[in-house]
Structure formats: C-alpha cells, structure tokens
Structure 1
C-alpha cells in the first residue's frame, strides 16, 4: 500500500509519492498536478477541487475557501444552504479525502497512510486540528512535517546539495522562514518563524480594495457588498496578480449592475499597495536569522517556496537583503509535496519494519515557546517559559516553582504557548486546579515537566518536588479542537460520503 505526502495548502494542495529513486507528483482525476483547496456544497453533495474553484464566483454562498486559516480557531464553522454546520476540520477532511481518492486512482491501490504538511508556525491547536482532519477523512496520519522543512528536503535531495539553507515560504495563506543545515540526507533545523495570517490571500485583499475604490470612482457600485460581487472581484484580482508576475501592467475587468468596469493596474502600483505586507516578511527573515545565529555570508542556498514567491518583488527583496539571487530549479508549487513524500517514505518504512527508498533524518524545532503562569519577584503574574521556541523536538524540559502560602492545598496551573512574558500576548492552552497533599512545608517545590512530541504537539505533567509524586498529567482539553467522540462521529458520517 502506497504512503503519500500531502501538501494541504490554503489555496492549492498536492500529493506526491516515492516509487523509485526520487519523489513524484501524483496528478488528480482532471490530470492536473495541483488541486484547489476549495469545497462547494451543491445540492448537499460536496464538490472539491477544480470544478469547485470554477463555481466559487457563481455560488459564493455554497463555497468554502481558505479554510486552513480557520483551523484550530474557536467557534469557526461553515453553514451550508440546508443549515448543516461544518467545522474547518470537516472541510479540510473533504479536501484530504478527495486528494487520497485521486492518488488511489493513480496508484491503483487504496491510500490510507499519509504525511500531511503544516506551516512551521502552526501552534498546538492548529496541528491537532490538522491531524483530526486526516482522521475524519479516514486516513492514518503517520506524522506532520513543517512545510519549509519539506521544501528543503526536496531541494537538498534533488540537487544533492549540502550546506545552510534559508527557506522563504510565502503561500496562499501563510508565511514561514526556516534556516536548516543540510548534510547529505540529514536535515537539521536551526530556527524557524512565521506568520500564519500572511499570504497571497492578503495581497489579493489589498488589490481588491484598490480596484473596488476605482470602480466607485467610475460611478459604479460597492462591488463587495454582495457575496457574489466580492467572489467575482477576488477571482479577477487573483488572476490580475498572476498576470503581473510576467507583465508590467494589466486590466482588471469586473461586471456589476449590468455594466463592465475596467481598472488598469501596473506592477509598480501593485507593489506599492502591498509593500507593507512584504516588509512584514523581511522583519521575520531578520528575526529567524538572529535566532539561528547566522549572517548572510553563512547562508549557502536561498530557496523560494509557495506560489506567492513568483511575485517579482519577492525575489528582488531577497536579493537586496542577501546580495545574491535566490536559487532556481525548484518548483515553488510542488517542492513541499515532494519533500513530504520523502518523509512519508521514511516514516512508512519505519512503521512497517522496512528500509526506506530515500531514508532521511529530520531534526526539527519548536515554533512556539511553552510555559506556565507564575509570580515574579514583584509578585506579578507573568508567562514563565519552560521550553523556548526553536528547541529541538522531540523535547522534554522541566522547571521548579514554589508554593506561596503556608499550608497551601492547591495550585492553579495554566499551560501557556507564546514567547512573551506579558500574558496579553500568550495563549493559555489549559487551566486547571491541582490539589496538594496536606503537611507540605512553606515554599514547597512544585516541578513542572513539559514536552513537545515529534509532530509539535504538547504534553505536560506536574510533580511534587520533594517526593516526585505526580500531581497529574495535564490532559489538554483543547477547547479550540474537536473531542475524540466528535472526530469519530464525523469520520463515520464521511465514510460513505460521495465527493465529486
């Protein structure tokens, strides 16, 4: 049975497999190498991919796009025309199920074992939601791999290159930067960072605002007031953005209220409109390089990954920062899926007691700091980091704290995710009261042990320092995620669902 890698993208997805000396992309049922991550619910039947993308502007009320941005968010849901509610995990599961079905057609055998990619900066809730989506789709998710890491694997093996790589990954909805040291088939991640709310979608939004204003200047309506108008505007602006990668100017044509409005846009105008977004990526690159402890003269290869890196201003900015051109010879749309396939080959072989066709060793890092809330020397509550960001995973670390009241019988334990001491800028993953035994001395030691597993998922346990007695493994409720029972129900409901 084949083990495939899936690049589950915000706007487009792809699958790949290792069957010989190198990974290969698997075409979908339409014979295309990329599948739009779009779902349309037409008469109660989900339509996924190419046809769904074509219907997005026609049936905006029945269409779900960019669902990856909603993964792991509290209360996020889509309601179809029949009033049925779908969580982001369910919508992503529909995409995954379609991708696996298409791969099965290509391979002539059922696909169940997969590795799914995630943005390097995805936190625990979003990683858990991605694994849940795979389970709902009826798949066995062998593991997750960060998208820039997968791209580095694909490039390093294809070009047989070693050295220090910087991967700049600007996709449809997320942005990541990763610096890794590559030695043969060993990939050692040095530092990573990113922005899960920055991608081509945001560049489209700014262009949409510009075009909408120009249409009003021509005496036209506010085209974004209706879902259909906004869907058509987005489709036209996305196409215009793509044209501007190879043309100095283009015209955006939008129909509204029986008239067609034409808005000329130059590449220079588009770049000026979106300069603030590009600047955000530059700041992240600088931060990741500082965290990795490297300067540009220590970077051997610069890889641009993700369809949005085709915008000429991206390579121009990277060239200005580094003093040299990024490497070419890597397909920015396919590299992540190809690398995921290699990693899937390694994990699949290990699970089956076999030898991988292309064995790789990946040493990744945490993208988020993990800690707890404790009182500082001024008796003010702050975030106390136990596992810093960019720690090697899997990782387990501990830190000691002390009771603050005589005869204290409980501690309020809060597990946090975030890099700042200021509690306003961290996420509380779990809050619970842990009971203490009677008779403890003043300032009794409480030892907190935390861990990230190989997929970047969080675990924690609290111990009494003097005796080593466990006060309890802290099971994350993950209020932003589905429970095991809900996942099982959704998987059963989707088992016999026909997806077109």
Structure 2
C-alpha cells in the first residue's frame, strides 16, 4: 500500500505532498514536472478530460468546455457543469477529477502502488456543507479521507516543523479564491488554535476580476468592443489580466495587448493603478485581521510572527498592509504556494504512519470556524424564529454542547429540530444545515427538551435530543445536509469517475 498523502485542493492551484524518509515534508511533482497543478478541468468531446496546465491553456479557445474555480461552488446543490458529452457534473464530481489526477501523479512519482489514504485541506471558514462536499470528492476519486484539515493550520504545521520555534503566530492565508486568518500558539509541538475567521469568496480571482473590468473599460474607451460579450474574448481577457497581475507583483508597470473586432490596443497599467482599483478588496482582509486580533485579546504585542500563506500574498500591497497594522514585516516560510500541501503531508503521516518514516510529534488543537445552534421561537410571542447558539464559534474541537428548551403549545406532539450554522441571533442571517422531526408525548406547554451537539475533528455535526420529562432519548441523527450528495449519488459519481480517463 502506498503512503498517505496530503492534498491542498486549491481554488486555482492544487498540490500534493508526503512526509519523506528524512522526516521532512516533500512536494510530489506532477507528470508534467510541475510542483503545483492548476485546478482546471477541460472536458473533451470523446468523454476524456484534461486536468492542469493543458486544461488551463484550453480556456481561451474552448471556454465552454473548461471548468475553473470550482472550489467556490463546493456545497452548492444548484451548481452543475454541462459537459460536452451530455453529462451534468456536480462540484464534487469536478473536484474528484482534479483529485484523481493528483492521485495518479502521486502513484506515478512514488512507484509504490495505489495511493488510497489522504488528508485534504479546506479553508478554515468552510461550513459543514463545503467540508462534506470535499470529503465526498475524495471518496469519488477513490481516496480514504483521513482528515479534513484547515488550511491555515496546515501551513502553521509546515512552518513549525521546519522552523522549530515556539510562539504565537498569525497565519494570513490569501489564496486564489478564499481568505483565512488564524491566530495560534506553538508550544513543544502542540499547535493550539485560538481563533479563526475568513471569507470563502475573497482571493486572487477577485483581484483578477477587478483588473479585467478595468482593462475592458480602457479598451472600450479606445474604440474596442466589449470583451465580455463572447466567452472566447472574456477567457482571453482573464488570462491576460492574471498575467498582468503576476507581472505587477514583480515590476512597477506593464502593458496588456488586447485585440478584438479588428481593434488592437496596448493598455498600460501601473502597480499604483492596480492597487487603487483593488484597495477595497485588501481592506476586507485587513479589517477581518484586525478584528480577529482584538477578539483574541492578545493585541499585536502578543503576536510573535505574522506568516504569509497562499499565492495571492505575492502582491506587494499585502505584505505592506500587514506591516502597517502589525508593526513588523511578515514572514515568508518557503514557497507560499506549497506550504499548505506540506502541512497536509505532515498530518497525513501523523494519521497513517508508514514504515521507514519517522512519525511527527505534532498535536493539533483546532477550533470551530462558525457557531452551531438550533432555531427556536423568540420569547416576545411574535412567532419569529431566532438562532440559539449551542456551540459558539472558536470552540475547541472535538466539541460537545447542550441547551434546554421547552415546548411552545399545549399537547405538542412533535419537535422540529432545525440545525443552524452561523453566529447571528437572527435566523434569517444563518444557514440551516439540517433538520429532523421527532415525536413526543402530548405534554403540557413548557415541557423540557434538551438538545446535545457533538462536533468532530473534521467539523461534522451530530445531534441527540432528550425528553427531560422521562429522561429518555427522543432521537439522534447526523446532519444530512441537503446541500450534499446522497450515498446513491456518490456511488454513481464514483463509477463515472472510474470510467473517465484523466490526462
């Protein structure tokens, strides 16, 4: 059996790593010799797919057959991609094709048989549906997902195992599509997360989108057509905007050649202009970071290091902003594109040690990223629902919590348990992730009911409901999130995945 691997399933790029025999984490190059693989899938007419660089290059010529940024759709039950062969694919199925490519590349690189066990990372702020979708994608790809690990925690693990320094660190993780910020302490190989926050739709793609809009407007101002009117010209614009963003991370200015409808123009853009049109995006990350540090009660004086993670931290505006608010230059530990995968590789060795490889001593104490609760009737008699939080955000996991409630009408015979995820007291501003209808005897109004929550290490939720009148269990259930695939869907998707050739 092959080694357990760690996978960073990213919005724009993915990577895979193991803990080597030397005790150090190593990135596994893909079949093209690249250390990261673009998270892009190209569906060909014959039913086969390309994943990676060749798929990314196909976006400009066959945009309707290419899927990218699918990570942003994880846990979205309404999103489907219509492939050229007539199949409709869920986000889990598309992600599973990326994972299949990574799995096959790892098997090719290692030459030790099938790779079956994996730790897969997710943004810390991913909710239950998105985490379950990630695990399901792994199952569809033929992987036994040992653990779903938060990306900032993985990055800190890679940093800590290499630097061997204790202290309190803030991990600022700005990737291609998501943003997380986490504060944790490292003490004698114990990684103790204090607090985390994030935005699941803030990342390099948003900077690209903003530059695309600006370039398109400049092109139109000079007599060119709207480049977003056709899929092909929009895909070409995206490719050039992303390339310009990368250049502006290294140089103070660049030029972008745009051509359409018989019009060709060279559009100059400076780093200063780019930063001006995206400053509000950076401020979202800035404000969330300041708020999290305040929430911990540590203050910036209590933070020893600020660690930069994710490909989008290469934009100079990011490090400059962090130095301004923290009073010290942030750290870059190795390649920020690889740090999460390396940490996942270390965690994989902890979860499934292999012969000949030293087992890391690291212990991770993570926290919930969002509150968990139930919907209850407000006390004011209005009949409106409010969110009663049972496990607050930033509670250590695995976690348990309970609260007692009462029946609301005489002779009530059913209890509707609506499980929520979110931190707002207003039910309208949280997400219902599952529900269950339980039968009770026809008690008088005010009969006591206790709801108990359990939150496991992967941040999956299970619930038990007790009748306190008889001190008996009414029922228990795991959250069957309606946003996720059914077991039958997963079996069908697995068969399709097995039948699909990935290049």
Which TM-score band applies after superposition, normalised by the shorter structure? over 0.9
TM-score with structure 1 setting the length: 0.97
Residues 323 and 93 from structure 1, CA distance in 2 versus in 1: closer, same or farther, beyond 3 angstroms? same
Residues 444-497 of structure 1, C-alpha deviations (whole Å, 9 max, x = no match): 110000121100111112111133322211342311110011101111221242
Contact preservation (8 Å) 1:346, 1:356: no
Shift of residue 404, structure 1, vs aligned partner: 1.8
Greater mean alpha carbon deviation, residues 42-51 or residues 90-99: 42-51
**Match for residue 189 of structure 2 among 160, 182, 185:** 185
The equivalent of 2:12 in structure 1 is 11
For residues 356 and 412 of structure 1, the distance between their equivalents in structure 2, rounded to whole angstroms, comes to 50
What are the Cα deviations for residues 398-450 of structure 1, in whole angstroms up to 9, with x where unaligned? 00001122222112221111000011210011233221123x34411100001
1:345–1:359 CA contact under 8 A, matched in 2:
no
Structure 1 segments unaligned to the other structure (5+ residues) = none
* SS of residue paired to 1:477: coil
The aligned residue for residue 93 of structure 2 is 90
1:277 aligned onto 2:281: yes
Tell me, yes or no, if structure 1 residue 26 matches structure 2 residue 36: no
The separation in 2 between residues aligned to 1:475 and 1:47, in whole angstroms, is 36
CA distance in 1, matches of 2:487, 2:288: 36
Partner-residue secondary structure (3-state), 2:352? helix
Q: Does 1:313 align with 2:317?
A: yes
User: How far apart in 2 are the matches of 1:318 and 1:452?
Assistant: 33
Segments of 5+ residues of structure 2 without an aligned counterpart are: none
Partner of 1:300: 304
| Pairing 1:260-409 to 2, within 5 Å after superposition | 260-349=264-353, 357-379=359-381, 380-409=384-413
Counterparts of residues 74-473 of structure 1 (less than 5 Å): 74-109=77-112, 110-349=114-353, 357-379=359-381, 380-438=384-442, 440-473=443-476
For the structure 1 residues 354 and 132, does the alpha-carbon distance in structure 2 shift closer, same or farther, using more than 3 Å as the test?
Answer: farther
Output the CA distance in 1 between the equivalents of 2:419 and 2:72. Answer: 24
Q: CA deviation at 1:262?
A: 1.6
The alpha-carbon distance between structure 1 residues 99 and 399, as it changes in their structure 2 partners (threshold 3 A), is same
Higher mean Cα deviation, 312-321 or 475-484? Answer: 475-484
Q: 1:407 to 1:356 in 2, by over 3 A?
A: farther
Q: CA deviation at 1:130?
A: 0.2
Give a deviation string over 1:82-137, Cα, whole Å, max 9, x none.
Answer: 32101110000000000010011110022110000000000000000000000000
Superposed displacement of residue 330, structure 1 = 2.7
The answer to which of 440-449 and 35-44 deviates more is 440-449
- Return structure 1 stretches of 4+ with deviation > 4 angstroms: 352-356
When the two structures are aligned, how many residues end up with a matched partner? Answer: 497
Structure 2 counterpart SS, 1:436: strand
Contact 1:164–1:180 (CA under 8 A) maintained in structure 2: yes
Q: CA deviation at 1:377?
A: 2.6
Cα deviation, residue 325, structure 1: 0.2
- Greater mean alpha carbon deviation, residues 323-332 or residues 217-226: 323-332
Q: Answer with 361-370 or 406-415: which moved more.
A: 406-415
| Superposed CA offset, 1:6-49 (max 9, x none) | 00000000010002221011000011101000000112211001
Q: Report the secondary structure of 1:283's partner residue.
A: helix
1:45 aligns with 2:48: yes
CA distance in 2, matches of 1:203, 1:184: 39
Q: Over residues 360-411 of structure 1, what are the superposed CA-to-partner deviations in whole Å (9 max), with x where a residue is unaligned?
A: 1101000010001112331342100000000001001100001122222112
Whole-angstrom CA distance in 1 between matches of 2:352 and 2:264: 54
Cα pair 2:40 2:56 within 8 Å, conserved? yes
**SS of equivalent to 1:235:** helix
Query: Could you say what secondary structure the match of 1:409 adopts?
Result: strand
